[in-house]
Amino acid sequence: MSRDSVRWAATFVALTLAAVLFRADISFVISATFFAIFAMSWSFFTSYSGYLNLGHVIFIGMGGYTSAILNYHLDWPMPVSIVIGSIVGTLLGWLYLNPIHKRVSGLSFEMVSFLSIIALTNLVLSGYARPLTNGDLGLSPLDGIFSTLGFAIGIAALLCLFGYGYSRFLSSNSGKIVDFARESQDIVRTAGADPHRYTGRLLLLSGLLASTGGALYVHYSGAAVVSNTFELAFMIRIVVIAIIGGRFSLYGSIVGAYFVVFAGFLLKPVVSSHIEFLIIYGLGFAIYFLWPKGLISILEVAIRRVVPGRKSVQ
């Protein structure tokens, strides 16, 4: 067995144990896993390609809304809606963002992706899209997925499966080319390869997980509304989770998601929501300043003390 497969199997066991231990509050475990899915898929493209993608929720929203429209308007069975939603969401998001990332980079790409999600939110809420999206009210009720231990383990399996696939991609020749392209696209071009071809693959894989997560998430939430798909606040939450966990690590997104969701879980009964967010964002700010590589770097140091000579994880 490869080192990656052992690591991701161990991560799956850890997430399953967390689900069993917190069975009474299984909805928090599921929320944390969903955010881990979104943050990991975002981090996979953003951290390894060097393009800061602020339009990642386009995948989530396209997947979520496609699945919701099929289920709500056409009465398609939920599993079929989710599968088609995931595929359509991935393709639409990729067909939009891939040509843009080929054409612009750096600050321009950040701005285009950022402005795109606000434009899309505005379009989804507008009167023109209302017959399809139901505007502010969103599409509800949808056929729902319930908070069960089985579902928590199922999405943990999805997360770890993609995590394993991502790790394999990053250690493959394509991953190495992406690494070079992040440092200098000219080097890759000089070697006769098109860097965008490889970063485009990264975007496609990133979008596939995000879109699948989005399609599942709207059914889990029971509604497709902008606040759980396209909204800027949702995007920012994903970014914050990835930063807190550690942006350059796939495992960091999982750590960040569980940290933020469970910090909220612990703080909710004690303080108001504003103070809860203040504490979480304050902690995030402090963590980012003190440990720019995120919580995963602290965890790695702790693990290295227990298991000397262990290499850092991706």
- Of residues 103 and 310, the one with the C-beta less far from another protein: 103
CB-neighbour burial class of residue 308 (10 A; exposed 0-12, middle 13-18, buried 19+): exposed
Give the residue with the Cβ less far from another protein, 51 or 151: 51
Token reading at 22: 């917190």
Residue number with CB closer to another protein (139 or 243): 243
Stretches 30-38, 165-173, 250-258, 282-290: which one binds another protein (CB under 8 A)? 282-290
Q: Tokens at residue 82, please?
A: 């989710």
Interface residue with another protein, options 27, 105, 174, 185 (CB under 8 A): 105
284 lies in the site for another protein, by CB under 8 A:
yes
Which residue type occupies 155?
Answer: I
261 binds another protein (CB under 8 A): no
Calculate the CA 65 to chain-centre distance.
17
268 counts as binding another protein under rule CB under 8 A: no
- Can you tell me which of 19, 215, 239, 250 binds another protein, judged by CB under 8 A? 239
Round to whole Å and give the CA distance between 73 and 58.
Answer: 21
Give the shortest CB-77-to-another protein separation in angstroms.
Answer: 33
Give the residues lining the site for another protein (CB under 8 A). 52, 100, 103-112, 114-116, 118-119, 122-123, 125-128, 232, 236, 239-240, 243, 247, 272, 274-275, 277-278, 281-282, 284-285, 288-289, 292
